[in-house]
Structure 1
Amino acid sequence: MSKGKILQNIWNDLPEERKQRIKALTEELETEYLNLQELRKAAGLTQAEISRSLQMPQSNVSRLERESDMLLSTLRNYIHAMGGNLTISVEFPNKPPIQLNLLSDIVSS
């Protein structure tokens, strides 16, 4: 029996509640580790399309997608170029998440 079939049999034998917990955790981990390039591809966009929207060279878009640290305004502009909105929430132990309003959003309103 192949490894794939063995794993499928194990999966099939799991209780439904456990399968749902595994699926939820998998989705959470997948969204945590999406980088900008994967996010852009998931939106069905090319670097060229993003570069036109941001009015910057495609090489700069490529650089942005490799950055691990950037200004929030840069990230917000990149997300807007994909047609999305950036929201940031703060989570403290034993408290509900708090939506953080970006200062630049307040100033530009």
Structure 2
Amino acid sequence: MGRSLDDVIASLPHEQQLQIDARYQELKQEVEGLRELRQIAGKAQADVATALKIKQPSVSKIEKQTDMYLSTLRSYVEAVGGELELTVKLPKRPVMRIHHLGDVAPAAPTKAPARRKSDAPSSRRRHG
């Protein structure tokens, strides 16, 4: 009969057991995707949909996306009861946290670009 994983780890030197446990704790803090995050938070798609003021199929669509706006991700994370933090890891530098990405407040409406003379509608043209 084979040995269990626990038996194998128990037979390793104490230092190695500590390394394995540390890595296990790291991995336990990672999630595969938004669906798993929602499940860990104990929320149903309907709960998230209500919080986001969207329909349940839209939550499913968000969970399957591979690319999205940070604002969408932030709203989703907040809907499951979390807070989004954005960190940057550069070589030979400590981890940096970005607190504000662009404007936090809604953007002010932009003015329409001024029309060039050639774009202006032609009024009465004089024919010579």
What band does the TM-score fall into relative to the shorter chain? 0.7 to 0.9
Aligned residue number for residue 28 of structure 1: 26
From 78, 81, 85, the equivalent of 1:80 is: 78
The structure with more helix, counted as a fraction of residues: 1
- CA–CA distance in 1 between the matches of 2:95 and 2:86? 10
Instruction: Report the number of matched residues.
Output: 106
Matched, 1:11 2:14: no
Does the aligned pair in 2 maintain the 1:43–1:82 contact within 8 Å?
A: yes
Opposite residue 19 of structure 2, the aligned amino acid is: R
Aligned residue identity for 1:14: L
**Unaligned segments of structure 1, at least 5 residues:** none
**1:39-78 to 2 correspondences below 5 Å:** 39-78=37-76
Counterpart code for 2:5: L
Distance 1:84 1:33 in 2: 14
Deviation at 1:28, TM superposition (A): 2.8
TM-score, structure 2 as length reference: 0.72
Calculate the TM-score normalised by the size of structure 1: 0.83
Q: Which has the higher contact order (CA 8 A, sep 6+)?
A: 1
Residue matched to 2:95: 97
Superposed CA offset, 1:16-75 (max 9, x none):
321221222233344444210000000111101000000100000011111111110000
Residue 94 of structure 1: CA displacement?
1.5
Of the two, which has the highest radius of gyration? 2
Q: CA deviation at 1:93?
A: 1.4
Structure 2, unmatched stretches of 5+, are 107-128
